[in-house]
């Protein structure tokens, strides 16, 4: 496990993904500039890298998972909240080792820090609905718990 805080990595990733969403620049370029221009001391840089590279890679799947949980079109969601929702949705789908409660609590705190007033309530509701769809019964993927590996369906998506 990399040294540093995943919380700090998520905070930096919100900002980097916000920039990616608005500018459509190459995520690797944004990451390089972000690491150069911001103090990531205390952040889990490996996790930051994973979020900033994987979320754009799986953008379509993440958006398709989120859309049924929204009361509006995904593109009409505030860009900061889109970045936060993408992180939460990514973690729910592709990071089975992260508990649902941690994912939602982290997203709510990110929304309180970076989002609009009461945006955290929106983020909380959307991720609650998504968690019920992606992790029914609040369980992790059984294969991930038993073997430490991703289930077959997730492996296929990652390749």
Mean pLDDT of the chain: 84
Question: Does some domain include residue 37?
Answer: no
Which residues, at least 6 apart from 66, have a Cβ–Cβ distance to it below 8 Å?
Answer: 74, 85, 86, 89, 126, 130
pLDDT value of position 35: 80
Question: Does some domain include residue 16?
Answer: yes
Question: Does some domain include residue 111?
Answer: yes
Residues spanned by the domain of 97: 6-32+44-158
Question: Does some domain include residue 105?
Answer: yes
More confident: 25 or 10: 10
Q: What is the CATH number of the domain that holds 148?
A: 1.10.940.10
Q: State how many domains the chain has.
A: 1
Q: What would the mean pLDDT of 40-63 be, rounded to a whole number?
A: 92
Beta carbons of 103 and 92 less than 8 angstroms apart: yes
pTM of full prediction above 0.85: no
């Amino acid at each position: 496990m990399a040294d540093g805080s995943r919380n700090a990595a998520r905070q930096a990733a919100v900002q980097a993904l916000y920039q990616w969403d608005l500018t459509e620049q190459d995520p690797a370029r944004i990451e390089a500039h972000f690491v150069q221009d911001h103090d990531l001391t205390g952040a889990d840089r490996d996790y930051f890298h994973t979020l900033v590279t994987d979320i754009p890679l799986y953008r379509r799947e993440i958006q398709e998972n989120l859309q049924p949980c929204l009361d509006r079109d995904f593109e009409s969601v505030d860009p900061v909240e889109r970045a936060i929702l993408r992180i939460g949705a990514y973690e729910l789908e592709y990071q089975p080792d992260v508990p649902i409660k941690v994912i939602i609590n982290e997203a709510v705190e990110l929304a309180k820090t970076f989002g609009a007033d009461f945006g955290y309530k929106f983020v909380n509701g959307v991720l609650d609905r998504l968690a019920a769809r992606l992790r029914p019964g609040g369980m992790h993927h059984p294969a991930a718990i038993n073997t430490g590996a991703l289930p077959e369906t997730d492996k296929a998506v990652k390749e």
